[in-house]
Chains A and B, each alone.
Chain A
């Protein structure tokens, strides 16, 4: 009996740790499950996640998926090129939808380091993704 309880406890802890890099959800707050920069999206899934993207790819996506969605809410993808805000995307999360993505067309002037902040309405940053656009 004791071993069964211990096993269950270990499973719970392991599961919790596996969910980490996005920390435990605060009360009433979404939990970011996955956030990636990818070259394509297929069936609402990230394809070819990449941190150094060739401009010849033509388009780049920021994919994010959440859990803990109980009601419709907005999240924001803020795209910065060298610390300069380049674009802000307002994305709606509505149960049962849990994932969303933003994208930009790559132009020659887009070469350089980028970062994307995934934030909620209150300004809480869930994650910062960094990538670079090169030739």
Chain B
């Protein structure tokens, strides 16, 4: 683990940061939608799969992998609308780096306007703004509403002909959550006689909870606020707003909300970073993956006038160690071995292949080089005229004599290393079967240049024509006898 952290490359850092940011942006963009929940579920599945894989639970890992893949596909199909709306509605800046610190605040001014309108119109209304305590255990009956709080919505609810105008509404944030709420009536004997059911209900609730209840008197057109079992008439809109805001804690909440949102984003950022780092580590856990490549050797800075005549090896086997996801994507052409010949001399030069000679792709380390030593033979290139001889193989009849073997060309100019050519006195053809030689014949063969560093000089032909003259041993004897007799 520590070794892995030590060997983090700059590419890995970018990799982790980039994907962490992507994950973070996903949260920011899809926050509050169902997509995020499903994404979190998929992420959990993915981690489960990684854990199963690490534990060697092959079938479990395989099954979770399948489910994860299917879920990822499903999310696109099921949430097409949400995804589209995100990408359509928001500008590029908002997608890539924007933040929305949107608060679900109660629009106090709007509520005040509506409430005082109700008072003017003599429309009875009762609005509950719950505090920190849960009021669900106190209210006797209600109808689930969950509608966006708006001027029109409040007017509609408390319209005399509305089936839900009797009873209170519960306002939480910017939503009306319940309507036709029936509250317990206060048994306080000190309440004025002119207080109707609404007022008693308001006090009844605030006596037992920390909620704030706004009551609009239908008969008197008075706005009253009840809190902590007390009820007070409020004639000024500004005072109403002030009391309501204080109850909702909006003055402090603005800053607090911003702070919370920032804290949330910071936390999500850290979690994203942690998750992706964990994923990276789980990916790179198999650091002992070894892969071998046969790499050709490149020679640089060859001294002028000298040619490479021969090398002990053409390829070097390079064994690399690294994380399997990194190793898997390495191509042989990403590895190179360079040998600097600037100090080479004519003749044999021995080099040790070290990591300095080898260029590796990032993220892998060199484990082994085979062979470690390399012999490079350099020589001055010279031209030499050499006779050609046929390399006969196979068998030949004992009854014949080969009296003449003439080659065309009989001599060939070759280019090669001075030292190499000093040891060569003859060029040989490719192997020619001597079974072909029974009578006078013409054969064509090719030069076999050995060592391969030899090259034909310009204008020289590789093809060799062979003329062979044959005589029977008996005929030869007769001709000798005639000569001696004559």
Contact = CB atoms under 8 A, between A and B. Distances in A.
B392 A115 contact: no
B134 interface: no
Interface string B416-432: 00000001111010000
Contact of A52 (B392, B425, B426): B392
A100 interface: no
Contacts of B476: 48
A112 interface: yes
Contact of A113 (B390, B398, B437): B390
A113 B391 contact: yes
A83 B473 CA distance: 30
Nearest to A128: B387
B401 A132 contact: no
A50 B425 CA distance: 22
Nearest to B429: A113
Interface of A: prevailing SS: strand
Given A54-B395, A113-B390, A115-B426, A49 B434 contact: no
Given A128-B387, A134-B392, A134-B394, A48 B473 contact: yes
Contacts of B428: 82, 113
B405 interface: yes
B389 A49 contact: no
A51 to B, nearest CB: 4
B199 to A, nearest CB: 126
A74 B140 CA distance: 140
Interface string A43-75: 000001111111011000000000000000000
Contacts of A115: 389, 425-426
Nearest to B427: A83
B69 interface: no
B403 interface: yes
A34 interface: no
Nearest to B398: A54
Which residue, of B391, B392, B403, has the highest number of chain A Cβ atoms within 10 A? B392
Contacts of B404: 51
Size category of the B interface is 20 to 34
A115 B395 CA distance: 19
Interface residues of A, number: 22
Q: A52, A115, A135: which has the most chain B beta carbons within 10 Å?
A: A52
A135 B434 CA distance: 9
Contact of B389 (A39, A54, A56, A113): A113
Chain A CB within 10 Å, residue with most, of B389, B390, B476: B389
B299 to A, nearest CB: 29
A92 interface: no
A112 B392 CA distance: 7
A130 B386 CA distance: 14
A126 interface: no
Given A48-B473, A83-B423, A83-B425, A130 B402 contact: no
A98 interface: no
A101 B165 CA distance: 141
B396 interface: yes
8 contacts: A49-B403, A50-B403, A52-B396, A80-B425, A112-B391, A113-B392, A113-B426, A128-B387
Interface of A: 39, 48-54, 56-57, 80, 82-83, 111-113, 115, 128, 130, 132, 134-135
